[in-house]
A and B are shown apart, each in its own frame.
Chain A
Amino acid sequence: MSVDTLGLLLPVIPGGLALIGLLVRDRRVAAALAVVGSGAVLALAVAVVARGPRPADPGVTIAEFGSLHVTFGTWLDGPAGLVLVAVGVVAFAVQVYSISYLHDDDRYAPYAAQVNLFTAAMVLVVVSGDLIALLIGWEVMGICSYLLIGHDRTLPEAPGAAVKAFLVTRVGDVGFLLGIALLGFHAGSFQIEKVFAANLSGPVLVAAGILLLAGVAGKSAQFPLHTWLPDAMAGPTPISALIHAATMVAAGVYVVARLFPLFERSPAALTVLAVMAAITMLLGGLAAMAQADIKRVLAWSTVSQLGYMTGALAVGARDAALFHLLTHAAFKALLFLAAGGVIHAVGSNLMETMGGLRTRMPATFWSMTIGLGALVGIPPLAGFWSKESVLGAALDAARADHGVIAWQAAFAVYLAAGITVLFTGFYAMRLWRLTFFGAARSQSAEHGHEPPWTMRAPILFLAAASVVVGFVGLWTAFGRRLGAEGAVFHFSAQVVVPLVFAATGVALAWRRDPAADPILAVRPRRALANAFYLDALQDALVVRPVRALAGATRRTDESIVDGAVESAGAGAFGAGGWLARAHRAGLPRAATAALTGAVLIGAVAAVLLGVRS
């Protein structure tokens, strides 16, 4: 078979069910399609992992552009299988959760179909062994994100947030397409295996690497293309869990991991990635500390944690990055779904309206505690193992003689990662206390209750996962699946450092009165809440000039370019009118003209005859 059956079914089943689902209106049929689609992905993903890593498919040709062929084939290696399981688990959990979260939404059917389509696209990115098929999945994810962010009719900010999300990632995708074009052209093929084997020159590798990073920065919300992610919280909370925490934003990390043999050969690209990662980690952590909206705290936290993953890749630790991707998928999805339960109960996203939910929603409270603990990196929860792996790898790279990047860059990543742990501890503690402790600060918080079991079950499952998943870091088989020599996690003295930072951050956020917001003690909190006004900067530097340019271009096109045409027409009319008037001359003028003409002809003839003789 030129294309692996499992690899082919993985995107086709949810994709096909999604297309059917777009034509369906009935709620129960839509829910069935949703559960079957995501369940199939999960089942097939487990089968892929059980079967073991496979080499790349030879593939089938789907388009011929002269000697440049576009093929489709899958490459189900170790990381692909594991990421597929994560995608399957989160997608299934989100689909089940959405059934009751959107129980009173009359547009549930297209929502479920779009989530299926999104799942198909994400799976395509993971399984694809070709750059063009990867690009197709990449962009379809973007459009599903756009459609789903804009789902809620009652939110006036949703359509704008959806457009912003798509456009910011589209800007990055310009670079992504150019990088793929460069690689495909110079390697003579778009198949990833062939691109690895091709003899690409240094400048091409660096250029392609940096261009691909533009797309990664967009999709994975790295500085400076991170501005869309907080606003994307206008989408329904299960979507925030699926797309903007566990899967789509992780796709950028996955693509760098997939194409790692190329990136390893261009230290310049990895250095750029390191700088981006360091800035992103710190920026995300700081901004999360000052948000009033619970989802925005989690959004900025995602930005920050993605920085960990890209930082790990930048220092050459592909296995640590993928490990953190997997644990983050579990605990971030958990955090968002639990937050969704809280929002559902309280009727608002703002933490100032919460409080006292610990006694009223115990299951949610404990799940969220586990999630926050994993986020901060408290042992033995999942986040501890993966975060330590990232930090350990960064320190090793900083101390190594010949790493993939300069030791200064690796050390910058390590430093940023360490300091961010402090910020993480702070905002996690702040969120925990403000949401769950003290007296209820609003009527709805007074009457808070647990969500129905279709929402609770996925939360509890993900909570269990967040406890258990981390231990695979000690398992050598897992590490080898991710391409490392042994287990991903290594015990060393360094383990203490982030624990100290975390404890400091947590302690700094503690206040005796649970309703007291610890951010009030921080001086530049306005700047933090607005993420250093980078959004406004983007608006001023990009959005407004482009709009102004558009208006100017339109006016120029209509007045000058079209004006030339219109005046040509007017000129022709005018010339015609003038000639018509000239022809209407009276007899004396006509006679003079005829005589003058005759004299001229005679003179010319005389001159010519004179020249002749």
Chain B
Amino acid sequence: MNLLFATLALPLLGALLAAGLPSRLDRAARIGGTAFAAASVGTAVALLAGRPSATPVGPGSPIRPWHEVDLAWAPDLSVRFHIGVDGISYPLIVLTALLTLLCCAYSLWRVPEPGRGRLLVALLLVIEVGIIGVFLALDLVLFFVFFELVLLPMYAVIAVWGGPDRRRAARKFVLYTLFGSVLLLVGVFVVVAAAGTGDLVALSDPAHRTLAAGPQLLAFVLLAIAFAVKSPLWPLHTWLPAAHTEAPTVGSVILAGVLLKMGTYGLLRVGVGVAPEGARKVAPVLAVLAVAAILVGGLVCLAQTELKRLIAYSSVGHMGFVLLGIATLTTTGFQAALIGNVAHGIITGLLFFLAGAIKDRAHTGELVELGGLREVAPALSGVLGFAAIASLGLPGLAGFWGEAFAVVAAIGRGGPLWTSLGVLAAVGGALAAAYFLRLLRRVTHGAPGPSVTGLGVAARLQSGELVAWSPLIGLALAIGVVPALVLGFSNGPAQLLAAVFGRG
């Protein structure tokens, strides 16, 4: 119980420390914030203790947390402070803590204009509290509170430390996601009003489901749109390219690495868990949109001319695979979605770190001006090649499992619609190879471009970068070879969730 509170409280304390210190102690404040981020990684990993070794089976709610805190919060409104960790949320919590630590460590080493790094670290830690809270929350209203907690700090990160067009991008990001949040709030109200409780564990329990089919459909549609904005699902994705391109490096890493996961996690936990009848009816629509996202994301990437924008659109494609996995409503699909989530967080986080490194050195992300990076900066080019290959879903690296098994799950559903969707998703995989290899050809191969020649000593990798990137490189390889690192946790809960639909 204390571990759960610690996981939430440590980053909050770190944020207060970092923000509270005066500006002459800026570096000390950043070090302090990073220390708290490291401590939260420790508590996140320590949450593993106490996990039962037997897979949960049998009737009951699909959510069976192995650490739980359930306190009365606003009893008259039937709102409780209910948090807990289970196999689905645990890998995501560790991922969040790790990425925040890496971003804080990166900020120790480099702070973008206009400085005041301690405030950036403080905001990153507040975002961490919000995201971990989302993954821990087992009460709908609490879930919504944490979901919203993330928005304004992220807006601030983009608007203050971002690129030239940051104001517009930040505004678009916050307004678009607020629109989704409004729908989320209405959905939460529909559920709480119709079912009488906001407790996710009770709401997911098929034996005690008090929500009738009609409200379930309404609730699912509202929730799905809200989470679709967050994930993002085509066509509700247009906030993403601007936000990613204009955000500072650490902002993009957190945005792509974990913020997007709130949407897919929410869809699985809240949408599918609470309103399965609604999910059953809407799943084909979701699947079609997911495959559209894969294909549109792939095609648009093929025509991109700017590095960060290309990686941003690739996220649209990857989340398409995750959402396809969820839409199949099978264990295979859920497992594919969950490992796809974690893999995307690791690999795209690494890609944005690299994009930041390239832009810092070459002062541009335009593909036309880059080129021949492997002549001038071979190590950086090698890591970029590794990240791109991992992101296109090469078997043996983390991204493969989510993509391939989303296709397997779709084929497994059978029938003309699902089979065609599976085939189209597989074609999307080929498109991913096309655009990433095009990226590598433009950036790393060929003659050195105007912004790349003359980098000289600056081209070498710095120790701060190696420290930030090596865990991600190692994890991409480790999860690729041993997917049980993620799937072992989520297999039980995913099976329980899929059992609601009568599918193994």
Contacts and interface: CB of A to CB of B under 8 A. Distances in A.
A63 interface: yes
B336 interface: yes
Contact of B445 (A150, A184, A185, A562): A150
Given A136-B396, A170-B430, A174-B429, A182 B441 contact: no
A158 B444 CA distance: 13
B487 interface: yes
A41 to B, nearest CB: 18
A153 B375 contact: yes
Given A163-B438, A181-B407, A562-B238, A66 B495 contact: yes
B446 interface: yes
11 contacts: A22-B382, A64-B488, A65-B335, A65-B336, A66-B330, A66-B495, A158-B445, A181-B411, A181-B412, A181-B422, A549-B299
Contact of B335 (A64, A163, A561, A569): A64
Interface string A158-189: 11101100110011011001100110110000
- Residue among B234, B382, B411, B484 facing the most chain A CB atoms (10 A cut-off): B411
Contacts of B483: 62-63, 70
B408 A181 contact: yes
Interface in A50-109: 61-68, 70
Interface string B395-428: 1100011001101110110000000001100110
A158 B411 CA distance: 37
B296 A65 contact: no
Given A561-B238, A565-B176, A553 B430 contact: no
Q: Which 3 A-B pairs have the closest CB atoms?
A: A66-B331, A550-B302, A159-B445
A345 to B, nearest CB: 28
B429 A546 contact: no
Contacts of B332: 65-66, 68
Contacts of A163: 437-438, 441
B482 A554 contact: no
A177 B426 contact: yes
Given A65-B331, A181-B422, A553 B296 contact: yes
A63 B482 CA distance: 8
Contacts of B20: none
B504 A67 contact: yes
Nearest to B175: A569
Contact of B433 (A66, A136, A166, A550): A166
A379 interface: no
B392 to A, nearest CB: 9
Contacts of A513: none
Contact of A63 (B300, B446, B487): B487
B38 interface: no
B287 to A, nearest CB: 16
B235 interface: yes
B303 interface: yes
Contacts of A174: 426-427, 429-430
B395 A136 contact: yes
A185 B408 contact: yes
Interface stretch (A138-146, A228-236, A253-261, A414-422): A138-146
Contacts of A178: 407, 411, 422-423, 426
B389 interface: yes
Given A150-B445, A554-B303, A66 B494 contact: yes
Interface in B365-385: 375, 382, 385
Contacts of A166: 433, 437
A146 B235 CA distance: 34
- Residue among B303, B375, B427, B441 facing the most chain A CB atoms (10 A cut-off): B303
Contact of A140 (B330, B335, B395, B401): B395
B163 to A, nearest CB: 18
A569 B239 CA distance: 12
Interface string B314-333: 00000000000000001110
Contact of A565 (B238, B433, B487): B238
A143 B382 CA distance: 13
Interface string B478-498: 000011100110010011001
A67 B332 CA distance: 8
A143 B238 CA distance: 32
A182 to B, nearest CB: 6
Contacts of B430: 167, 170-171, 173-174
A597 interface: no
Contacts of B195: none
A551 interface: yes
B300 A554 contact: yes
Contacts of B422: 178, 181
A27 to B, nearest CB: 15
Given A68-B332, A550-B300, A554-B304, 14 more contacts: A61-B484, A65-B491, A66-B335, A66-B495, A159-B441, A159-B446, A166-B437, A167-B433, A167-B437, A178-B426, A181-B422, A182-B411, A553-B303, A561-B237
B396 A64 contact: no
Interface string B233-248: 0110111000000000
A171 B432 CA distance: 11
A158 B301 CA distance: 23
Contacts of A561: 234-235, 237-238
Contacts of B495: 66
Nearest to A110: B382
Contacts of B172: 565, 569
A563 B445 CA distance: 35
